[in-house]
Structure 1
Amino acid sequence: MNTDNIMNKQVSADWHHPASLPIMPTTLPSRLIDEQPQEEGEVDVMLADPEIAEPPMYAVVMYNDDYTPMEFVVYVLQSEFRHNIDDAVEIMLNIHHQGRGIAGIYPKDIAETKAKKVNQTARKEGYPLLSQIEPHQS
């Protein structure tokens, strides 16, 4: 029996179905096989320190409003951003006098989480305090 006829019948039956595809030999021609024997012994490898880029940083900016008490802003700066009382009061006064202030600088995902939590806490307490993130230039 001629193998070409068998292969043609199988392929023409249904080329989508794997069972109808012809079985091909799995041995590689000798020209594709690397005939060189592997050497035993030590191999010199140079190790380089990986280059790790610092993540882009974002500032969590808090904005002044006429309704949120200063004490609440200081509380948020201490509880969420871990500022001591003196730094929290200084940042709160910056927010009050300049209209905005930086509460902290973090990688993007952390900054987004902190800003969202500040906004949620303020809404829960009934205050319109707003915080957003923006890229921080070092």
Structure 2
Amino acid sequence: MSGIRQEFEGDVFTEESIEVREPKPYHVVLYNDDYTTMEFVVFVLESIFHHARPRAEQIMLDVHQRGKGIAGTYTRDIAETKALQTRNLAQEHNYPLRCVAEPA
């Protein structure tokens, strides 16, 4: 995708092509631990990531059985914000749930 930048240089009007790139995707990854309940992980997936219950349960099972699961894929800023919201909510409920944003 490209865009056009228009400038005035003295008495001359010029257009310069600029390259516009799509932002790189980031995964928000939840990691398994021995203390965070499965129900809390489902709650996080429903409330922060807006997954329907069946999808939230499937992601929770990935976390439980495989050691980690992808809660969602977003641009970097959104992924980091959702990871922070997840960690804060877990801390409020005294769970050590690990959640990170990493390049897809």
Q: Same fold (TM over 0.5)?
A: yes
Query: 2:65 matched to which residue of 1?
Result: 97
Runs of 4 or more above 2 Å deviation: 49-52
* Structure 1: stretches of 5+ with no match in the other structure: 1-46
Query: 1:61 matched to which residue of 2?
Result: 29
Query: 1:108 matched to which residue of 2?
Result: 76
Greater relative contact order, per chain length (Cα 8 Å cut-off, separation 6+)? 2
Supply the RMSD in Å over aligned alpha carbons. 1.8
Q: Which residue identity lines up with residue 59 of structure 1 in the other structure?
A: H
Rg (Cα) greater in structure: 1
Aligned length: 91
* Structure 2: stretches of 5+ with no match in the other structure: 1-14
Give 1:133 shift: 1.1
Q: Under a length normalisation based on structure 1, what TM-score does the superposition of the two structures give?
A: 0.62
Q: Which has the higher strand share?
A: 2
Give 1:50 shift: 7.1
| 1:94-132 Cα deviation digits (max 9, x unpaired) | 000000000000000110000011001000100000100
Rounded Cα–Cα distance in structure 2 between residues aligned with 1:70 and 1:88: 10
